Chains A and B, each alone.
Chain A
């Protein structure tokens, strides 16, 4: 079974600085997706960034970027120029590639336990 581990229960950063959140995962699959979700105090889950395992290039979305190390099964999130609105819980998630009508993955996500990010003004 796939597992996702976030070893940092809490992290903090000064406004305008950079912070990196760690995530490791375990899978025997070669093709999959990885995600970072943000959960602010409203508790709405917001997709931050997505990485396809077959792509060597790291995904970026504005101030958010990932460091995807497939061999090491590592998927970290870097937040640059941190803003007060970045304060939230961040979840790393894994998803197998769907196998079509005969497949069994059905797009299920496996989540890590989350990292609480505090941004200091």
Chain B
């Protein structure tokens, strides 16, 4: 069966520090992958999506970037975090007509 992993589960980082969040999927190949951010427990905002290795599309301009170095790995990064980057980050993969989500990473920028 297919599963999706995210780590770390929780992260506290100072302003100006770098960021790397990882998402991996098991049990499928060449999945469409997505990064969402949820701020203040409301609404999910799509940040990036990827349809294959090295293919990244950005939905909104921001301080973050994404990469897909392997078929089932999707990474969210930042060179210098801002306070506004705090939130809950969810990775998802497209399955049939829907999307299935990972457990998420709670990021607090201090």
Give the B-binding residues of A (Cβ under 8 A). Answer: 33, 35, 42-47, 50, 52, 89, 91, 95, 106-109, 111-114
Contact = CB atoms under 8 A, between A and B. Distances in A.
Nearest to A52: B97
Contact of B43 (A33, A52, A108, A111): A111
Nearest 4 CB-CB pairs, A to B?
A: A45-B101, A107-B94, A111-B44, A113-B43
Contact of A106 (B43, B49, B97): B49
Interface in B92-108: 92, 94, 97-101, 103-104, 106
Interface in B49-91: 49, 51, 57, 59, 88, 90
A32 to B, nearest CB: 10
Contacts of A46: 101
Interface-centre pick from B32, B97, B101 (highest chain A CB count, 10 A)? B97
Contacts of B101: 44-46
A108 B97 CA distance: 10
- Name B's interface SS: strand
B19 interface: no
B97 A33 contact: yes
Contact of A95 (B42, B97, B106): B97
Contacts of B98: 33, 35, 47, 50, 95
A107 B57 contact: no
17 contacts: A33-B97, A43-B88, A45-B44, A45-B101, A50-B98, A89-B41, A91-B44, A106-B32, A106-B49, A106-B51, A106-B57, A107-B99, A109-B34, A111-B43, A112-B43, A114-B41, A114-B42
B109 interface: no
Interface-centre pick from B88, B94, B98 (highest chain A CB count, 10 A)? B98
Contacts of A45: 44, 90, 92, 101, 104
Given A42-B103, A107-B32, A114-B41, 13 more contacts: A43-B106, A45-B44, A45-B90, A46-B101, A47-B98, A50-B98, A106-B32, A106-B57, A106-B94, A107-B99, A108-B46, A108-B59, A109-B99
